[in-house]
Every structure is written in C-alpha cells, then in structure tokens.
Amino acid sequence: MSVHRSGTAGPRRSTGRLPTAATLLAAFAVFLAAFAVPAAAADTPARGSARLGMGVLAHDGQDGTPITSQATQTEGVDVSSHQGNVAWSTLWSSGVKWAYSKATEGTYYTNPYFAQQYNGSYNVGMIRGAYHFATPDTTSGATQANYFVDNGGGWSKDGKTLPGVLDIEWNPYGASCYGKTQSAMVSWISSFLTQYKARTGRDAVIYTATTWWTECTGNYSGFATSNPLWIARYASSVGTLPAGWDFYTMWQYTSSGPTVGDHDVFNGALDRVVALANG
C-alpha cells in the first residue's frame, strides 16, 4: 500500500523574486560611490604647489609676448619647484638677467629646489630674489613674513639681491579671496608688508593681477607709494594697473616662454634692476 506524504508531491518552487532593474542600478550606484573621488578634491592642487601666476590663465586668460616699445626693458624669469633644477647658463645666454625663485608658501612649505635656483641664478651673474606665495586663510600676514625671511626671503645690499616679493593672487585651494572681506584682505597684506620691512629694512614688491586686486581688495591704492608693483597679465600689453600705481616695475607676460615657462620684463635697463637691488 502506498503512503502519501503531505508537501512532497511535485517539484519544490523558490519563493524569492528576481531583482528588478531599478534595484540593480541602485546597488551599482552604491558600489561606484564607495570608490568615487569628489570632483572638488580631485581638482584641488596639493598644498605647496602654488606658484606665481598659477591662476592668471584660468581667470584672466590669454598668453602673449609684449609689443616691442622704445622703452628699454630687461628680461627676467620666475621659478618654483614646478621647474625643478633650472638651466641657468642657458637662460643667461638667451639674455635673461634677473630671476625670482619661490622660497615659501604659508607657514608650511619651503621650496626643495630653492638653493639650486636662488644660488644658481646668482652664480651665472643674474640679479636674484625670492618670493612668498601668500595664503591669508592659514596664518597672519606678520607670521608669514617672518617665515619667509627665515627661509630664504631676506635681503642684503650686495647689488645682486632683489627685495622679497609678496605673491598675492587667486587662491588655488579654495575661494578666490581666501574667505576674507576686502578690508580684511588689505589689513592682512599690510601686516605682511610691515613685518617684512621691520625684518629686512626693505619694502617688499607686490605681485598681483588687476582683476584679483580689484575683486579682493576693492582696488585699494594705499600701497603704491612704497611697494613696487609686479603685474601679471599674459597679453601684449599690461592693460589697466591696480589703483595708485602709475607704472609697473616688473611684468609677468607669459607662462610659456623658452627654457622655463614664466618670463617677465623689468621696466628699465639693467642699471635700474641694480638700483632696485641696492634700494
């Protein structure tokens, strides 16, 4: 006699449902998100990598060569760790007679190539100087001036050393004006310049672009009587200068020059470069 067992007759069926397309897409999105890098983080350069004119092409555009004029101008270059060890003899032979090297940034970075750049330019006969990339959102102006002087930004009256430069321009790491109001930015710059002069006896050069200066300082004119202007504009002319300055002392006119990219002219013959070095 056969026995019927309840629940065992016929094939066993699964009670689960196949995942829908929407469920699969959602799971895949979660997987991708786990490995994704935020766009802002990917686009932000590493701290310390900033250099003269880093934001000029992005914000002002253009790149060019100065229109030849009757006024005598003297060719120069500016360098940072971006250029590494520089072929100074090649630049000297091409007519470059002065140079600035990045020494510091904020209070957290010193250029590892500074010695080769600063001493190498001097050794081939150039008149040289050092610059500081300002980060007004990290520490005070006076604190950064001290850091600059302590790490290569000093000055000596040897006829071959130019006064230090405050590179104040677009923030490559965040908001263009470093989160400061126009009046707060002017105060920060003043703090740096005052302390630099107290430490060295020299008025620092200000490197900037007119568009940044207008946006972030309100086109403040109060530094023009004491601090030489190094203007950044990659075009065939300097264009409008920041308020207060009737002329520029130096002009960074391109980021794509020979041997090293950043080329400049001094507004005068070589004896005027020497005059600035001697104060």
- pLDDT digits 0-9 by tens, 244-261: 999 999 999 999 999 999
Catalytic residue IDs: 78, 167, 169
3-state SS, residue 253 = strand
Number of domains in the chain: 1
**Per-residue buried b or exposed e for 244-265, using 16+ beta carbons within 10 Å of the residue's own CB:** ebeebbbbbbbbebebbbbbbb
Q: From CA 72, how far away is CA 86, in angstroms rounded?
A: 26
Question: Hey, what are 74's tokens?
Answer: 């003297």
Q: Are strands 98-105 and 127-133 parallel, antiparallel or unpaired?
A: parallel
Task: Dig out the tokens for 183 from the structure.
Answer: 């009046």
pLDDT digits (tens, 9 = 90+) for 81-100: 999 999 999 999 999 999 99
The answer to whether residue 209 is domain-embedded is yes
Percentage of the residues of the chain whose pLDDT score is greater than 90: 73
Q: Per residue in 209-221, pLDDT tens?
A: 999 999 999 999 9
In a domain, 117, yes or no: yes
| Mean pLDDT across 43-51 | 74
To which H or E segment does residue 91 belong? helix 88-93
The reply to whether 131 falls in a domain is: yes
**CA-CA distance, 114 to 102, in Å (whole number)?**
7
CA distance 90 to 94: 6
In a domain, 157, yes or no: yes
Domain containing 226 equals 56-262+271-278
Which residues on adjacent β-strands are paired with residue 105? 109, 133
CA dihedral 219, 225, 226, 229 (to 10 degrees): 50
Amino acid at 111: N
- Contact (Cβ atoms closer than 8 angstroms) between residue 231 and residue 208: yes
pTM, two decimal places: 0.81
Tokens of 165: 């430069």
Local structure of 108: helix, strand or coil = coil
The answer, yes or no, to whether residue 16 has pLDDT greater than 90, is no
pLDDT higher than threshold 60 for residue 22:
no
Does the residue 158 lie in any domain?
A: yes
How are beta strands 109-110 and 127-133 bridged, if at all? unpaired
The answer to whether position 186 is within a domain reads yes
In-domain check, residue 152: yes
Question: Is the CB of residue 230 less than 8 Å from the CB of residue 237?
Answer: no
Q: Which helix (H) or strand (E) holds 210?
A: helix 210-217
SS3 73: coil
In the chain, DSSP assigns E strands to 74-79, 98-105, 109-110, 127-133, 165-167, 205-208, 229-232, 250-254, 263-266
Confidence grade of residue 11 (pLDDT, cut at 50, 70, 90): very low
Q: Could you tell me the two tokens for 196?
A: 């630099």
Of the candidates 73, 127, 153, the one whose C-alpha atom is nearest the C-alpha of residue 277 is 127
Residue 2 in any domain: the answer is no
**CA nearest neighbour of 76 among 114, 121, 123, 134:** 121
| Per-residue pLDDT tens over the stretch 150-195 | 999 999 999 999 999 999 999 999 999 999 999 999 999 999 999 9
What CATH number has the domain bearing residue 235? 3.20.20.80
Residue 263: closest CA among 62, 64, 113? 64
